[in-house]
Structure formats: structure tokens, C-alpha cells
Structure 1
Amino acid sequence: MQTSGTSGALRIERLVKEYRAGTPVLRSIDLTIASTGLTSIIGPSGTGKSTLIRCINRLVTPTSGRILMRLAGEEVDMVQLHGRALRRARRHIGMVFQEYNLVERLTVMENLLTGRLGYLSAWRAWRRKFEPEDIAHAHQLLAVVGLSQFANQRADALSGGQRQRVGIARALMQQPSVLLADEPTSSLDPKTSVEIIQLLRDQGVQRNIPVMVNIHDVELARRYSDRIVGMTGGHVVYDGPPAGLTEEHLHTIYGGKAWME
């Protein structure tokens, strides 16, 4: 479905998701995401942060609403896409997962190249016949994420931080129009968490694409985000710059002061 007249790389309109009828997890979400910058989504567990991210790339199917996204120069409503059209759209949406979602028995290089499978014919994908330029690009991305020396290492031999760097490089292999990350630091130590968020932000800036991150670490979000979206109970209750996020806002988002003590 092609549309026109919207601003920003991504516009979410009246988005609702119900896993059980009459019990919405997302309650009429409206957001417009600019074409660049890091947007962090914060809020308590169960408030719909991961569901929002997963609705955008259609890992979860919304109940109603629109997700208008500019992909490869065309604006589409992700909610209306199915089958081949949905697969084509997903090629342009990079996704970084909390638990990495790597193929453990494959090498780092092989995991990166899976980011190009959506661009291959079924025959070439089955045979893993990648173009020389894709292989060269994978080597470049390994250098970007600091893993050049691990190209032939199996994924299951890496640390958590290294695995997440592979996940980021794999998402960038898609040459995405938007980069999504679902709790990318939740399993990592504080130092590695900072490195991962900074890497995501830097790559968004360098590639001129928006980055959306679902994150629990409020201070990390404040430090590196251009914009913070605070959610509670399936609603957006704060949407603005990190500097504007007050303790009062945090009390509303997280339900009181006890969590801060």
C-alpha cells in the first residue's frame, strides 16, 4: 500500500495490539520517528515496549492502526503487507535481538551473510551463494564492530558482547532504512552496554538512518538518546528530549519512587 504526505522515516498511527480480545497491550500509540537519531523506549516490564518494536517489523501482527514507513524510497503501511510484499519490506528493517538470535554452529562471517539472504533468489539462498561484494561488505562491517579477527570463529565461542556486535553487523548487512533493537543490553555488563548503545547510535548517524531501542537502563538512555519515549500501561506518557525527562515523569512511568531508592 503506497501512501504520501507523511513526514519522517516512520509514522505510527493509532496502533493497538491485543493478544487477548479486550485486553490491549498497546493502546492507540501515535509516534513519528525522524529520519535520523536514536530513540530510546523506556518503561516497566509488560508495558508493551517489545511489542511496539516487534509490531514495526511485523514479528507481531498489530490488531489495528497503521505503521507507515519509508523503505527504499517508497512509503508503505507495514500493517497491510503480507507474503512476498512483507518479506521485501523486512529486508530494509534491521533488527537486533536481546538474545542475539545467531546461528550458533555457523561462523561469525556466515552469520553476517545471513543478513543478505532476503536479497537472494531462493536457489542462491539455499546454496549460500553470496556475491563477492557482499562478502567484502561483511569484512568491512566486522572491522566496524571490532571483530575482524573473529571472522572464522563459531558464534557459540563468543562472549555476550561479541555476539551482540555480530547481531548489529548482521542487521547492518541488510543496508537497512531503519534499525530496531529489542533490549540489546539486558544481558550485558555495564561497560559493554555502553559500548553497544554507542555503536548503535554511531552507526545510525554514519548511515543516516533512525535507530529505535527498547531499553531498561534509564541513565544509559539519557546519556545516548536524541529522544526518549516513556511508556506505561500500553500508553506513551513521555515523548521528548532526555533533558526534559524529570523525576516526576519517571514516577509516572514506573509507578512511584521505590524503584529509584
Structure 2
Amino acid sequence: MTDTAPALEIRDVTKSYGAMRAIENVDLTVRKGEMVALIGPSGSGKSTLLRCATGLVIADNVSGPISIFGDKVQEGGKLSARVRRARSRVGFIFQQFNLVRRISLYKNVLLGALGRMPTLKGAMGNFSTEDRRKAMEALERVGVKEHAGKRASDLSGGQQQRGAIARAMVQGAEAIFADEPIASLDPVSARRVMRLLRDLNQEDGITIVVTLHQVDYAMKYCDRAVALKAGRVVYDGPIGGLGRDRLIEIYGDEYRDVIDEEGVPA
């Protein structure tokens, strides 16, 4: 591992479910400090690729290596011995928030510190004063400090998602991988979450990789797009290269009437 290692490196990765190839021979390099949107039609392989990146999904046994900041996550259908270290540097944000619904938002955010704690201390919830301070600071930064004592189940989707991002901040994540983080949110909450991810990228240098169905959000908040179609990368470049013709090529002719002349869905 070196300081110059990419935040994420994927080489010749394939994942099959029976006879179906979810992703096929995908190569992807994300440099430190980038904010990258993974886009493409439903079923194109975006979520599978992101989950393979952290070892939540195991790629095929013929697949090449996947590394995070130089630490190998998996290769040849097996998790690496360094997968735990690699995962500790990444916060994963799920579409359905993945908070413990019965406990407070504050306690959910504190859970981000578990990866740095001895197992026994973590099991007993023996968090340090510093971890508790970081949790409240993170909640304040994401704009939900006033809800710290509420159960996660009593919060809106947008509030829960911002809590999930605060948890990644307490974790000390150097990168955030977000899998459709705004898919179930209203437009106002979706904009708040995307602005928050952009601010963490621009102000803190945190690498962001986010899967999105909404091309307009990708174009507004991200600098680079990687588009998948039928499990293969069909575009990898600046967000500004996603013109009308390119988007129709990615999403198909049925999108021709819903994409305006600037390439943004109408």
C-alpha cells in the first residue's frame, strides 16, 4: 500500500448469477478526491459493482483483483486477508439507510467508531469522550443535531440518510460509496443529501462514488460519470460529455422523448 494508491481499483471483474452476467470484465480506477457517479439503466450492474468493491458481493473466481487505497479486498472469488482494513477506510451508504431503527440517531452515529475499538469495549458500548464529541459534531454538520435523541424509526428518510453519512464521518472514512442514496427521498431531501456528499468531497477531500438513477443529479453534483449498460462500462469520462446522443446510447431509444437537448431528463 502506498500514499499514491487509487481510492478504488477494479481489474477485469465479472459477477454472474447463474447464467446471467451482472457485470462483465469491468475495469475501473477512482483516484483519491474524485466524486464519481455510476449511472445506467436499471439492471445495468451499478449496485453489484459497488458491492463487489467492498466485498459485500463476491466476484467470480476468474475475476481480477479489487483494491481500496492499495489494500486488496478480493481476488479470484475470495476475500483478501486485508479486507477488514480496506473496509475500515470506506463508509457504505445504502438506499434504505441501514440504521438500527430501535435506537437513537446519536447511538447509530456512534456505531461508526466500532471499527477502531477493541471488540469487548465495542460490545459494551464503552465509547470514549472523543468519539461522543465527534458524533455530536457530525450530527451538527449534517444538519440533524436536534434529532439526536430520537429513535431512527421516528425520523424521515432524509434525516436517516444524513444520519448514515454522519456515521461514516465518525468512522473516519476516507471514501464514501453510496448505493442509490436518494432513490427513496423527496426532491428537497435528495438535494440536501447530494449537497452534503459534494461538500464532504470538496471541503474534506473524501472520495465519493455514488450510484444514481437520476442523471440530472449526477450532472449537477459530480465531476465524472461511469456508465454501465448490460454489465459493461460504455462511458467513462467528464460529466460534461453526457450529451443527448450519449445518454440515448446508454439508456436506449425509449429515453429519446424524455431527454432534452442539453442531455438532462425533461
Task: Return the offset for 1:85.
Answer: 3.4
> Residues 6 and 137 (structure 1 numbering): CA distance in 2 closer, same or farther, change over 3 Å?
closer
Aligned to 1:19: 17
2-side partners of 1:84 and 1:132: how far apart?
32
Which residue is 1:57 aligned to? 54
Counterpart for residue 69 of structure 1: 68
Q: Which amino acid aligns with 1:65?
A: G
Equivalence for 1:134? 131
Q: Give 2:251's aligned residue.
A: 254
The amino acid that maps onto 1:247 is R
Q: Which structure 2 residues correspond to residues 96-115 of structure 1 after superposition, within 5 A? A: 96-115=93-112
Q: Is the 8 A contact 2:37 2:224 kept in 1?
A: yes
Q: Is the 8 A contact 1:13 1:29 kept in 2?
A: yes
SS in 2 for 1:78: strand
Displacement after TM superposition at 1:7 (Å): 5.1
TM-score scaled by structure 2? 0.90
Q: Which amino acid aligns with 1:223?
A: K
Say if 1:257 and 1:157 are closer, same or farther in 2 by CA, change over 3 A.
same
Letter in 2 for 1:105: R
Instruction: State the one-letter code of the partner of 1:12.
Output: I
Deviation at 1:118, TM superposition (A): 1.6
Per-residue Cα deviation, 1:179-220 (whole angstroms, up to 9, x for no partner): 100000000111211111110111122221210000000011
The offset of 1:239, in angstroms, is 0.9
The amino acid that maps onto 2:16 is E
Amino acid at match of 1:67: I
Distance 2:48 2:79 in 1: 19
- Paired residues for 1:1-261 under 5 Å: 8-20=6-18, 22-63=19-60, 64-70=63-69, 75-80=70-75, 82=79, 85-258=82-255, 260-261=257-258
> Using the alignment, how far apart are the partners of 1:249 and 1:7 within structure 2?
31
Contact 1:179-1:204 within 8 A present in 2 as well: no
Q: Which amino acid aligns with 1:214?
A: T
User: C-alpha distance in 2, partners of 1:129/1:170?
Assistant: 17
1:32-88 per-residue CA deviation (whole Å, 9 max, x = no partner) reads 111112100111111100001111111111111211221xxxx22211474873223
Cα 1:51–1:232 shift into 2, 3 Å = same
Q: Is the 8 A contact 1:37 1:205 kept in 2?
A: no
Give the partner amino acid of 1:16.
Answer: T
Q: Which runs of 5+ in 2 are unaligned?
A: 259-266
User: Where does structure 1 lack aligned partners over 5 or more consecutive residues?
Assistant: none
Other structure's SS at 2:64 match: strand
Deviation sequence 1:144-194 (CA, Å, 0-9, x none): 101111111111110111011001111121111211000000001112111
Q: 1:83 to 1:233 in 2, by over 3 A?
A: closer
Give the stretch that moved more between structures: 161-170 or 247-256. 247-256
* Counterpart secondary structure, 1:62: coil
Hey, what's the Cα distance between the residues in 1 that align with 2:44 and 2:192? 26
The number of residues matched between the two structures is 254
Kindly indicate whether the alpha-carbon contact (under 8 Å) linking 1:9 and 1:210 is maintained by their aligned counterparts in 2: yes
Amino acid at match of 1:69: I
Q: Which amino acid aligns with 1:8?
A: P
* Whole-angstrom CA distance in 1 between matches of 2:83 and 2:74: 9
Local SS of the residue matching 2:68: strand
C-alpha separation between the residues in 2 aligned to 1:145 and 1:258? 35
Q: Report the 3-state secondary structure (helix = DSSP H, G, I; strand = E; otherwise coil) of the residue aligned with 1:98.
A: coil
Distance of aligned partners of 1:55 and 1:83 in 2 relative to their CA distance in 1, 3 Å threshold: closer
Q: Distance in 1 between matches of 2:175 and 2:144?
A: 23
Is the CA contact (8 Å cut-off) linking 1:16 and 1:62 kept in structure 2?
yes
Distance 1:52 1:104 in 2: 27
% same residue: 39
Corresponding letter in the other structure for 1:60 = V
One-letter amino acid of the counterpart of residue 189, structure 1: D
TM-score by length of 1: 0.92
